Amino acid sequence: MKCPKCKSIDLHPTKMEQGLSGMGCNECKGVFVSLLYYRDWAERFLATEAESEQAEEINSEEVENTHNAMSCPKCSRIMTKYRVSSEHDNRLDLCANCDEAWLDKGEWSLLKSLNLGSKMPLVFTEQWQKQVRQQVSEESRRQRFIDLAGNDAIEEADKVRQWLKEEPQRVHILQYLAYD
Ligand SMILES: [Zn+2]
Ligand SMILES: [Zn+2]
């Protein structure tokens, strides 16, 4: 199997964690991991360390993110990208056909830093992706508002928003304000 990123480099078995191996690239440090093995590992991991899973600190400069579409090293189909979180631009690549995922250099550490080390398949769910999209669009909405109205205004607006959320007459107040 060749690295989907470096193309000509062979993948070699590599240890990600105690009891979890993937096929790694010595050149770009990415790793291809079978979700079948992963789920088995995560189940055992959760059984023994559920309470003690600690978020790891990571150095974001050491995390890479491939923007190009990549082909699955096994079956050559184009893998699908799944964004990890709204705060990080990183995307995991999944081949649904082989049930294997490609993680760029540092993305495994990134998952662990987000407490997703034992819950990676969550990222591949429609629910997770929807939540990430909502957070991203909320964040860009806020940014647009800040660009237009400034930081003080958003602080005030957030207070009003919070107050409105709990206000039973919300609908009437909004209607009244809209005609002001
Ligand atoms: Zn590579
Ligand atoms: Zn595949």
User: What is the distance between the alpha carbons of residues 27 and 3, in angstroms, rounded to a whole number?
Assistant: 9
Determine the distance separating the centroid of ligand 1 and the alpha carbon of 137, expressed in angstroms.
32
What confidence score (pLDDT) does residue 180 get? 65
Determine the distance separating the centroid of ligand 2 and the alpha carbon of 175, expressed in angstroms.
53
Q: What is the mean pLDDT of residues 61-90?
A: 92
Model confidence pLDDT, tens digit, residues 94-125: 999 999 999 999 999 999 999 999 999 999 99
Of residues 158 and 45, more confidently modeled: 158
Query: Minimum-distance ligand to the CA of 27?
Result: 1
The burial class, CB within 10 Å (0-12 / 13-18 / 19+), for 30 is: buried
Token representation of residue 27 = 């050149």
Query: Minimum-distance ligand to the CA of 96?
Result: 2
Q: Where are the alpha helices (DSSP H) in the chain?
A: 35-49, 107-113, 126-149, 151-166, 170-178
Determine the distance separating the centroid of ligand 1 and the alpha carbon of 129, expressed in angstroms.
26
